Amino acid sequence: MRADAKRNRDRIVDVAREVFREKGYDAPLDEVARRAGVGAGTLYRHFPTRDALLDAIMQSWVDRVNEATEKTLAFEGSDRDLLVGWLETYAGLISLHKGGPAKITSAMGDPDSPIIGKCQVLAQASQRVMDRLDAAGALRPGVDAVGVCKLVGGVATVADNADQPLSTVRPLLEVVADGLLR
Amino acid sequence: MRADAKRNRDRIVDVAREVFREKGYDAPLDEVARRAGVGAGTLYRHFPTRDALLDAIMQSWVDRVNEATEKTLAFEGSDRDLLVGWLETYAGLISLHKGGPAKITSAMGDPDSPIIGKCQVLAQASQRVMDRLDAAGALRPGVDAVGVCKLVGGVATVADNADQPLSTVRPLLEVVADGLLR
DNA sequence: ACCTGAACACCGTTCAAGT
DNA sequence: ACCTGAACACCGTTCAAGT
């Protein structure tokens, strides 16, 4: 890749992260191009779809997911507290930008989604937490990690769609936790 | 209202119901106007916003909600079966058209929503079912009907966004039920 | 009083012309 | 090889002119 191309690509990703944070995942791409100082065509050359751009943005976010997972696994307390904590952490991770919860959760089972890789990171994180709880004999039988992701994703989507802070749905996450625990 | 105005209004509602069923709640309004044989301005005169049109469409749907509620209340079986059955019924009622679950659930706590009346019908239905379970001492303390609506709405939204049939999320509804029951 | 449909605005996407 | 930006498509919304 030519040096100027790489520079443009990087600028687009940085600017997009900013714009999406301000206006949500469905912000006009035109504005991204404008602020990045490139033509619309350049944006489309690098990222043929909005999802391709999202995927690039989420690159750095993977580290945050893994960090949060380690923290959860190191938690020393009751199984319920660990689970509720993880559900809140998970909801927070997918609610970074407006539109995120719906986007990520609906990709969560679609092998053809352009952001499937990022979903797998999340699903595996969730799996590790469930494994730990299962080893302790704390889970009801038949609980699968992807299902948990969808359930919490649904709750986060509700809060996001209604423009309400995640804290308002904490009681719902507790219901989910109680439904998952033995 | 003049006779021709009423005729146009009725035609618009009928056609919109059809178009929304075919293409979801965000189908082009242009198509509704065209199929109804009216100008775009006429549609906007009668229904200044898309939500106002939705609200009109959902008028007949209220009967169906009440019918389903009666059926649930008359159910003779275990509390868990009753609850799971209601959650599935509820999910079905809000999933009539694509986009419905998100639309209805995000309006579910916003007093300014144009479809708030329809949400209240749902919330009250949910309340009656919870009351019956509560009278039987089956519910965990602190469960409120609107919360249940949001939770199930979240699950239905997930299925709807991913273009998957509701049956795929039945296990998730069981988790919710277990979380609600004592 | 109500209707029509052209016109405008907005935004996603493409592509011919330029470097 | 990459970029620009005008041009096109699509759809929501308004409004002047008509009945």
Minimal Cβ distance to A175: which of B102, B171, B180: B180
A41 pLDDT exceeds 90? yes
CATH number at residue B28: 1.10.10.60
Instruction: Label residue A1 by pLDDT band (50, 70, 90).
Output: confident
Q: Which nucleotide is nearest to B43 (CA to C1')?
A: C3
A132 pLDDT exceeds 90? yes
A101 pLDDT exceeds 90? yes
Its sign, for the CA torsion B117, B118, B123, B127, is positive
> So what's the pLDDT on residue B43?
98
Question: Domain check: are B102 and B163 in the same one?
Answer: yes
Residues 6 or more apart whose CB falls under 8 angstroms from that of B30 comprise B40
Contact: B147, A180; criterion CB under 8 Å: no
Average pLDDT estimate for A108-134: 96
User: What is the domain extent for residue B9?
Assistant: 1-48
Bridge partners (DSSP) of residue A139 are A181
State what percent of residues in chain B have pLDDT above 90: 97
Q: Is A48 on the interface with B (CB under 8 A)?
A: no
> So what's the pLDDT on residue B1?
80
Question: Domain check: are B92 and B31 in the same one?
Answer: no
> So what's the pLDDT on residue B181?
98
Q: How many CB atoms lie within 10 A of CB A165?
A: 11
Instruction: Label residue B32 by pLDDT band (50, 70, 90).
Output: very high
At A181, is the secondary structure helix, strand, or coil?
Answer: strand
B98 pLDDT exceeds 90? yes
Question: Domain check: are A74 and A134 in the same one?
Answer: yes
B45 pLDDT exceeds 90? yes
Total domains, chain B:
2
Contact B169, B155 (CB under 8 A): yes
Residues whose C-beta lies under 7 Å from strand C: A 26-30, 40-41, 44, 48-50; B 1-2, 4-5, 8-9, 37-42, 45-46
* Residue-by-residue DSSP string for B44-100: HHH-SSHHHHHHHHTTTHHHHHHHHHHHHHT--S-HHHHHHHHHHHHHHHHTSSTTH
Question: Domain check: are B128 and B154 in the same one?
Answer: yes
> So what's the pLDDT on residue B8?
97
Question: Domain check: are A107 and A141 in the same one?
Answer: yes
Average pLDDT estimate for B86-111: 96
Protein CB footprint (7 Å) on chain C nucleotides? 1-7, 10-16
CATH number at residue B164: 1.10.357.10
Bridge partners (DSSP) of residue B181 are B139
Q: CA B13, CA B36: separation in Å to the nearest integer?
A: 9
Residues 6 or more apart whose CB falls under 8 angstroms from that of B16 comprise B32, B36, B53, B56, B57
Question: Domain check: are B31 and B70 in the same one?
Answer: no
Q: CA A68, CA A61: separation in Å to the nearest integer?
A: 11
Contact B83, B180 (CB under 8 A): yes
> So what's the pLDDT on residue B20?
96
Q: Is B172 on the interface with A (CB under 8 A)?
A: yes
Contact: B161, A102; criterion CB under 8 Å: yes
Q: Is B111 on the interface with A (CB under 8 A)?
A: no
Average pLDDT estimate for B160-171: 96
Average pLDDT estimate for A122-149: 97
The tokens of A21 are what?
A: 């944070």
Average pLDDT estimate for B95-103: 96
Contact: A102, B179; criterion CB under 8 Å: no
- Cβ of B41 less than 7 A from strand D: yes
Instruction: Label residue B58 by pLDDT band (50, 70, 90).
Output: very high
Average pLDDT estimate for A116-134: 98
Q: CA A137, CA A102: separation in Å to the nearest integer?
A: 32
Provide, as residue numbers in chain A, all residues whose Cβ is less than 8 Å from the Cβ of B179. 174-180
> So what's the pLDDT on residue B84?
98
> So what's the pLDDT on residue B139?
98
Contact: B178, A176; criterion CB under 8 Å: no
Question: Domain check: are A151 and A108 in the same one?
Answer: yes
The tokens of B100 are what?
A: 């419905």
Question: Domain check: are B72 and B90 in the same one?
Answer: yes
Q: Is A110 on the interface with B (CB under 8 A)?
A: yes
Instruction: Label residue A106 by pLDDT band (50, 70, 90).
Output: very high
Region for B28 from its dihedrals, namely left if φ exceeds 0, alpha if ψ lies in -120 to 50, beta otherwise: beta
Chain A and chain B share a number of CB contacts under 8 A equal to 98
Question: Domain check: are A14 and A83 in the same one?
Answer: no
Give the closest residue to B169 by CA, choosing from A13, A144, A173: A144
Indicate the residue among A48, A66, A81 that finishes a domain.
Answer: A48
Contact: B151, A175; criterion CB under 8 Å: yes
Which amino acid, one-letter code, is at B25? Y
State what percent of residues in chain A have pLDDT above 90: 97
| Interval A42-94: pLDDT, tens | 999 999 999 999 999 999 999 999 999 999 999 999 999 999 999 999 999 99
Question: Domain check: are B33 and B80 in the same one?
Answer: no
> So what's the pLDDT on residue B109?
85
Instruction: Label residue B97 by pLDDT band (50, 70, 90).
Output: very high
Q: How far off is chain A from B45, nearest CA to CA, in Å?
A: 28
Q: Which nucleotide is nearest to A12 (CA to C1')?
A: D3
Contact: B106, A143; criterion CB under 8 Å: no
Q: Is B153 on the interface with A (CB under 8 A)?
A: yes
Instruction: Label residue B40 by pLDDT band (50, 70, 90).
Output: very high
B47 pLDDT exceeds 90? yes
Bridge partners (DSSP) of residue B139 are B181
Instruction: Label residue B86 by pLDDT band (50, 70, 90).
Output: very high
Contact A87, A79 (CB under 8 A): no
Average pLDDT estimate for A131-140: 97
